[in-house]
Amino acid sequence: MKVTLCGTGTPLPDPNRAGPATLVEAGTTTLMVDAGRGALMRLVAAGVLPLGLDAVLLTHLHSDHICSLNDVVSMHWTMSSEPTPLKVYGPVRTKEMADGLLAMLGPDISFRLAHHDDLTWEPIVEVVEVLAGDHFEVGEAAIMVGRTNHAPVEPSVAFRVEHEGVVAVLGGDGVPCDELDELCDGADAYVQTVMREDLVRLVPSERFLDILDYHSTVQDAARTAARAGVAQLVLTHYIPSLPAGQEDEWRALAAEHFEGEIVVGDDLTVVEF
């Protein structure tokens, strides 16, 4: 299995980090988990075209995790030679979001249909709304859905992706909870959004300080990884944005609580296992 961090940034624009997005290649199956700012550019940089995606998995519907889904939908459509559905799995209200996305693209869709004689169909987005405990398969990947605690964002989910006995867990946002521990149990890699509480508290903004109660700290993620007995902890979606040269500092905070391998990567960092 191969995991590529397609976007490790925050909702705040960063010239060096795209928004949250992770590519998972499980055998011949290719999945994108979340689709934050610039996700499609990073996807192509990782060597995958939109038509190469077997599905998009969404952990939750915060704008920073979905704001490039329209780009994925548009290019998946216009690069297709025949009607080709894009499968999107996400929590309750994903269908509502996707319907709104297609409505927003309405003018563009009509313009392209009018211009291209060989383009005779509209984008096909097949949404499957998932619940904690669901199991499904996409190609060669067996996927389990787990609840996460990102309240008041309800519901939010994480995904456990398995192929030939190898497991990656995509944790999304949220604070530690029993359900996440269970989902991570024995995983080969656990990919988790992380926050530095000490740095966030330096910012004199009530709105920014509000994020403290619904994101895992680096230490939280490490303790989750230790409890679940995972092999590798992969940090991503760094809050605040991780400046170059501080990777060892973030890694050291995790290493206080987790003895396994810790990956602190830039966009397009690859983990294979």
Tell me the catalytic residues.
64
Angle at CA of residue 130, ends 50 and 216, nearest 5°: 85
User: DSSP for 76-126?
Assistant: HHHT-SS--PEEEEESTTHHHHHHHHHHHTHHHHHHHHHH-TT--S---EE
CA nearest to 199, candidates 6, 8, 10: 10
Give the Cα separation of 92 and 10 in Å (integer): 23
Report whether the peptide linkage leading into residue 243 is cis, meaning its omega lies within 30 degrees of zero.
no
273: number of Cβ within 10 Å: 14
| Cβ atoms of residues 18 and 37 within 8 Å | yes
**DSSP letter assigned to residue 11:** S
- In DSSP terms, 262 is beta-bridged to 233
- The two tokens of residue 146 are 């787990």
How far is it, in rounded angstroms, from Cα 237 to Cα 192? 8
Alpha helices for the chain (secondary structure H): 39-45, 63-66, 69-78, 94-104, 106-115, 178-184, 197-200, 206-209, 218-228, 247-255
